[in-house]
Amino acid sequence: MGAKPHPQYKRSWKNLLLNKRYQLRFTLFMVGISAVLMAGLGVWVMKEANDATTVAKARVIGETCPKVPEVIEVPAMNEEAPVPMNIDEPAPADEPAAPKAGAKDAKKKEEPAPAPAPEEAEAPRQVKKDPQADFLTVKALWCTDAECKPEMAMPLIVKVKNCDEYVKKKLEDMMAVDALKSLSIPVIKCESGGEPYSVADAEPIHHATVQLEESSMTITPTLPTDFADRIVSHHTCEMRQASSIDSLEHGRLRILWVLAGTGLLLMAGLAVYGLKMTHKVAGPLFKVSLYFAKMRDGRLDKVYNLRKGDQLVDFYEHFKTAHAGVVQMERDDIERVKATIAAAEAAGMGDHPSIAELRTLLARKEKSVE
Amino acid sequence: MSDGNIPSATVVQGGKLDGDVPKRGDDTGKQPVYKRRLSNYMLDKRLQLRYILLVTILSGMISGSLGYLIYQQRHAASESIERDLAALTQDDQNLKDFQEQVAASMAAEDRALVYKMIGVGIGLVVILSLYLLIMTHKVAGPLYKISSYFDRMREGRLGSVSALRRGDMLQDFFGNFREMHEAVRTRMQSDVITMESAAVALRAKAGDSGSLAEALDALDKHLVQRKKQLL
């Protein structure tokens, strides 16, 4: 009886999917429901994250950075000798108070003032022609109250509230227009859209024409003492803002990836768990199917217990009793046939063809219940 | 081989005939009528409840966390509006009633949202549970039916097997069972015929006396019983 060792059944991943239709249906249903719910959760979370990121970005952009200091051309004038200006106004009243000197000065007035040395006169111009300085000037004049990035010979895109009004007002400013011309900026556009404004067509408001006569004036560019610090702090602030915006965008993307990853992990985990769970049902069914095949072929072997953790224990117990019932039927037949053969042999009819048939039947039945 | 006394193996279609859901030890010959009833849906509590609870709890957890987030967001928005309103009115005593009214309205809306979400959650759980109950019943039903046939086999009764209902799962498994059942039944019927013909031949030669006659009588009795079981 115990000659044949019972084949050891091992749980293997290959055997996990025993009843595809049943297992996949249940597992996919579970995974599908979770996917729908997780997608809803994900969409909502991303909507909130996008809103939060937008608000945070606006807050960062709203923080004002220190302005880039302007390069101011300060006329270096002789305090003692104020420059008389020919603006149809009478000469200062105190002028005659120094007749001697005044006479001398009057003579000097008639003579044209000596032209300044070329080097001295050109010095401020050279600063003006410096592209970097021009760039800074445009930034100072156009991009302190608005957002813009001037580039040589490129349209200036301006982003500011009431952009059209801002641009029109600026175009009335001679210095602002000149600054644009120095960088060869042809047009100004509002980022929000609308018609571009041509720099060439700009008509800045001209203030009272000042004619300088008989005076010498040296225009010297002067820089504030903390010019470099202010430039550095301005750009540091801009870089910090850009970094903050970048970080916020990264945070938003991180949420998206974490959500997607969590969702995928949940789906994969559920799929594996679903397969394992249904396998505990499909496993016993598979085992019972193997016994069915044996019973169909007339082999009524011993029925072994289920593995630990398997489901359908009650069902399997029913099967075992059914199997035992069929075995009992065979044994009853064996007993009856044996008794008949023995009686026939005792009556001297052992060679009867019917007894031979009964012997064949008996052999088959005995073999089936071995 | 057949002498006409043994019925041939038949497969009854439709799933509502003899022995569909037989009662144990029911020898009265009355056929119990099987009806789909709500109470019959829970055939295998352990199997069905396990799956239903797993899916329902999982869905409840996910939708619960979604609901909690929504409520939190809404509540935070309400609080923010109340704060802004207080700042706008500068806690003016004249507008205190208005502030309280707005706060009460917001709180009522928040509560309504919670009730709505609880309702939707309960609805989801109920619908999911019912759907899963029906779905698992399609597995538990065939298992229950086969268990009933197993009970009959235990008693040595190998009657006819009816097909599963439309929509039932485990059709392949049931097919294997039916094949096995029919094979065992057919073999038993064939054995009965062999034994019966042998008994007839032996009786014709041995007569009605002696130990062989007694053995043949016992065999006849056994065969009558067996035929009954195979009906």
pLDDT digits (tens, 9 = 90+) for A22-72: 888 888 888 888 888 888 888 888 887 888 888 888 878 877 888 877 665
Residues B93 and B174 placed together within one structural domain of the fold: no
Chain A interface includes B194 (CB < 8 A): yes
Instruction: Tell if the CB–CB gap between A22 and B169 is shorter than 8 Å.
Output: yes
Place of tokens 């003006």: A128
A-chain residues near B203 (CB < 8 A): none
d(CA A216, CA B209): 163
Q: Which domain holds residue A335?
A: 313-368
Comparing alpha-carbon positions, the chain A residue that sits nearest to B150 is A322
Give the pair of three-digit tokens for residue B62.
């996910």
Distance from the Cα of residue A213 to its chain's centroid = 66
Spatial neighbors of A240 by CB under 8 A, at least 6 apart, are: none
Instruction: Tell if the CB–CB gap between A358 and B69 is shorter than 8 Å.
Output: no
Kindly tell me the burial class for residue B45, based on how many C-beta atoms sit within 10 Å of its own C-beta (0-12, 13-18, 19 or more). exposed
For chain A, what is the mean pLDDT? 77
pLDDT at B194 over 50: yes
What is residue A325's predicted lDDT score, i.e. its pLDDT? Answer: 92
Instruction: Tell if the CB–CB gap between B177 and A346 is shorter than 8 Å.
Output: no
The angle at the Cα of A333, spanning A329 to A338, to the nearest 5 degrees, equals: 150
Comparing alpha-carbon positions, the chain A residue that sits nearest to B153 is A322
Q: Which domain holds residue B96?
A: 39-155
Q: Which of A209, A234, A267 is the last residue of a domain?
A: A267
Chain A interface includes B101 (CB < 8 A): no
Chain A interface includes B5 (CB < 8 A): no
Greater model confidence, B200 or B27: B200
Residues A317 and A350 placed together within one structural domain of the fold: yes
pLDDT at A74 over 80: no
Q: Which of B155, B181, B216 is the last residue of a domain?
A: B155
Stated pTM of the model: 0.58
Residues B74 and B145 placed together within one structural domain of the fold: yes
Instruction: Tell if the CB–CB gap between B202 and A352 is shorter than 8 Å.
Output: yes
**From A97-106, B49-58, B64-73, the region with the lowest mean pLDDT:** A97-106
Residues B147 and B166 placed together within one structural domain of the fold: no
Does residue A241 fall inside a structural domain? no
pLDDT digits (tens, 9 = 90+) for B132-179: 888 888 888 889 999 999 999 998 888 889 888 888 888 889 999 999
What is residue B38's predicted lDDT score, i.e. its pLDDT? Answer: 64
Residues B142 and B191 placed together within one structural domain of the fold: no
Q: Strand pairing of A187-190 and A156-159?
A: parallel
Q: Which of B95, B122, B155 is the last residue of a domain?
A: B155
Greater model confidence, A25 or A237: A237
What is residue A212's predicted lDDT score, i.e. its pLDDT? Answer: 58
ipTM: 0.71
Residues B143 and B86 placed together within one structural domain of the fold: yes
Structural domains in chain B (count): 2
What is residue A22's predicted lDDT score, i.e. its pLDDT? Answer: 80
* Secondary structure class of A7 (helix, strand, coil): coil
d(CA A266, CA A44): 18
Nearest CB to A328 within list B156, B187, B205: B156
pLDDT digits (tens, 9 = 90+) for A293-308: 999 999 998 899 888 8
Nearest CB to B154 within list A293, A311, A324: A324
Q: What is the mean pLDDT of residues B46-50?
A: 80
Q: Provide, for chain B, the percentages of residues in helix, strand and coil under a 3-state DSSP scheme, each rounded to the nearest 5.
A: 70, 0, 25
What Cα–Cα distance (Å) separates residue A331 from each residue in A297, A324, B186, B217? 17, 10, 17, 18
d(CA A172, CA A182): 16
What is residue A211's predicted lDDT score, i.e. its pLDDT? Answer: 58
What is residue A10's predicted lDDT score, i.e. its pLDDT? Answer: 59
Count CB atoms within 10 A of the CB of residue A114: 7
What is residue B145's predicted lDDT score, i.e. its pLDDT? Answer: 92
Confidence of residue B27 (pLDDT cuts 50, 70, 90): very low
What is residue A221's predicted lDDT score, i.e. its pLDDT? Answer: 63
What is residue A33's predicted lDDT score, i.e. its pLDDT? Answer: 85
Residue A111: its H or E element:
none
d(CA B35, CA B44): 17
Residues A188 and A258 placed together within one structural domain of the fold: no
pLDDT at A120 over 50: no
d(CA A109, CA A111): 5
Place of tokens 């249906």: A25
Chain B interface includes A44 (CB < 8 A): yes
d(CA A109, CA B198): 159
Residues B73 and B163 placed together within one structural domain of the fold: no
C-alpha neighbours within 13 Å on the C-beta side of residue B122: 6
Q: Strand pairing of A218-222 and B11-12?
A: unpaired
Nearest CB to B59 within list A19, A37, A48: A37
Residues A215 and A255 placed together within one structural domain of the fold: no
Q: What is the mean pLDDT of residues B185-212?
A: 86
Residues A254 and A217 placed together within one structural domain of the fold: no
Residues A76 and A202 placed together within one structural domain of the fold: yes
What Cα–Cα distance (Å) separates residue A211 from each residue in A85, A344, B18? 6, 154, 124
pLDDT at B2 over 60: no
Please answer whether residues A238 and A104 qualify as being in contact, where contact means their C-beta atoms are separated by less than 8 angstroms: no
Greater model confidence, A87 or B85: B85
Instruction: Tell if the CB–CB gap between B176 and A361 is shorter than 8 Å.
Output: no
pLDDT at A126 over 70: no
pLDDT at A254 over 60: yes
Q: What is the mean pLDDT of residues B49-54?
A: 84
Q: Which of B135, B155, B175 is the last residue of a domain?
A: B155
Nearest CB to B219 within list A281, A336, A365: A336
A-chain residues near B55 (CB < 8 A): 29-30, 33
What is residue B185's predicted lDDT score, i.e. its pLDDT? Answer: 92
Chain A interface includes B140 (CB < 8 A): no
Residues A360 and A330 placed together within one structural domain of the fold: yes
Please answer whether residues B198 and B221 qualify as being in contact, where contact means their C-beta atoms are separated by less than 8 angstroms: no
What is residue A203's predicted lDDT score, i.e. its pLDDT? Answer: 74
Instruction: Tell if the CB–CB gap between B156 and A337 is shorter than 8 Å.
Output: no
* Secondary structure class of A219 (helix, strand, coil): strand
Chain A interface includes B80 (CB < 8 A): no
Instruction: Tell if the CB–CB gap between B173 and A48 is shorter than 8 Å.
Output: no
Confidence of residue A103 (pLDDT cuts 50, 70, 90): very low
Residues B132 and B166 placed together within one structural domain of the fold: no
What is residue B208's predicted lDDT score, i.e. its pLDDT? Answer: 65
Residues B109 and B174 placed together within one structural domain of the fold: no
Instruction: Tell if the CB–CB gap between A358 and B226 is shorter than 8 Å.
Output: no
Residues A129 and A201 placed together within one structural domain of the fold: yes
Kindly tell me the burial class for residue A123, based on how many C-beta atoms sit within 10 Å of its own C-beta (0-12, 13-18, 19 or more). middle
A-chain residues near B139 (CB < 8 A): 22, 281
Chain B interface includes A264 (CB < 8 A): no
What is residue A110's predicted lDDT score, i.e. its pLDDT? Answer: 46
Residues A26 and A146 placed together within one structural domain of the fold: no
Residues B102 and B195 placed together within one structural domain of the fold: no
Q: How far off is chain A from B85, nearest CA to CA, in Å?
A: 20
Contacts with B, A 280-339, CB within 8 Å: 281, 285, 288-289, 292-293, 295-298, 311-312, 314-315, 318-319, 321-326, 328-329, 332-333, 336-337, 339
Kindly tell me the burial class for residue A254, based on how many C-beta atoms sit within 10 Å of its own C-beta (0-12, 13-18, 19 or more). exposed
**From A14-23, A98-107, A173-182, A228-237, the region with the lowest mean pLDDT:** A98-107
Residues A155 and A76 placed together within one structural domain of the fold: yes
Instruction: Tell if the CB–CB gap between B219 and A325 is shorter than 8 Å.
Output: no
A219 forms beta bridges with: A75
Nearest CB to B195 within list A40, A325, A337: A337
- Buried/exposed A126-160: b ≥16 CB within 10 Å, e otherwise: ebbeeeeebbbbbbbbbbeebebebeeeeebbbeb
Confidence of residue A130 (pLDDT cuts 50, 70, 90): low
Residues B204 and B171 placed together within one structural domain of the fold: yes
Residue to test with chain A: of B61, B181, B202, most A Cβ within 10 A: B202
Comparing alpha-carbon positions, the chain B residue that sits nearest to A285 is B173
Q: Could you give the maximum distance between any two Cα atoms of chain A, in Å?
A: 179
pLDDT digits (tens, 9 = 90+) for A309-364: 888 888 999 999 999 999 999 999 999 999 999 988 888 888 888 899 999 999 99
